[in-house]
């Protein structure tokens, strides 16, 4: 898998890469997160359809056009998102934040000025 690092010229933070048995795992934010020192604010749609459809190659569907197998995969993806972003919630660092709306979209709604809200707050207010 090291070829992916070379192919995409991925930066692997030394604090992570030097401490991982497989340094290429540091390309995953869930693995690299404990090694990041700067405060972070994570904006991510729980059901990122770019990751689901373009990267993981599930055929695109919406609503009634989705098969039960596709719906199960989307649910699985959402559980995986919640599990990986739980690192931010459980972190002892009180400088980090997370905005994870339950949306089946890529960037729409979570960008600055976006329309997704959690408890009445959008990404711009949360970032502030």
Contact between residue 37 and residue 95 where contact means Cβ atoms under 8 Å apart: no
What's the CA dihedral at 81, 105, 42, 79 to 10 degrees? Answer: -10
Statement to judge: residues 21 and 43 lie in one domain: no
Statement to judge: residues 30 and 43 lie in one domain: no
What confidence category does residue 6 fall into, taking pLDDT thresholds of 50, 70 and 90?
low
The structural domain count of the chain equals 2
Q: In the prediction, which pLDDT does 8 show?
A: 57
- Look at residues 41, 45, 42, 48 and name the one whose alpha carbon lies nearest to residue 109: 45
pTM of the model: 0.74
Statement to judge: residues 57 and 116 lie in one domain: yes
Domain of residue 114, residue span = 39-127
pLDDT tens digit sequence for 84-126: 889 888 988 888 888 888 888 888 777 767 788 888 888 888 8
């Amino acid at each position: 898998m090291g070829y992916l690092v070379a192919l995409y010229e991925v930066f692997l933070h030394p604090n992570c890469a030097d401490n991982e048995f497989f340094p290429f795992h540091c390309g995953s934010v869930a693995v690299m997160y404990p090694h990041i020192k700067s405060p972070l604010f994570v904006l991510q749609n729980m059901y990122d359809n770019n990751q689901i459809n373009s990267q993981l190659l599930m055929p695109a569907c919406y609503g009634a056009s989705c098969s039960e197998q596709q719906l199960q995969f989307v649910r699985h993806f959402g559980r995986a998102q919640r599990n990986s972003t739980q690192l931010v919630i459980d972190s002892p660092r009180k400088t980090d934040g997370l905005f994870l709306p339950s949306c089946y979209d890529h960037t729409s709604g979570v960008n600055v000025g976006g329309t997704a809200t959690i408890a009445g707050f959008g990404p711009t207010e949360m970032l502030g």
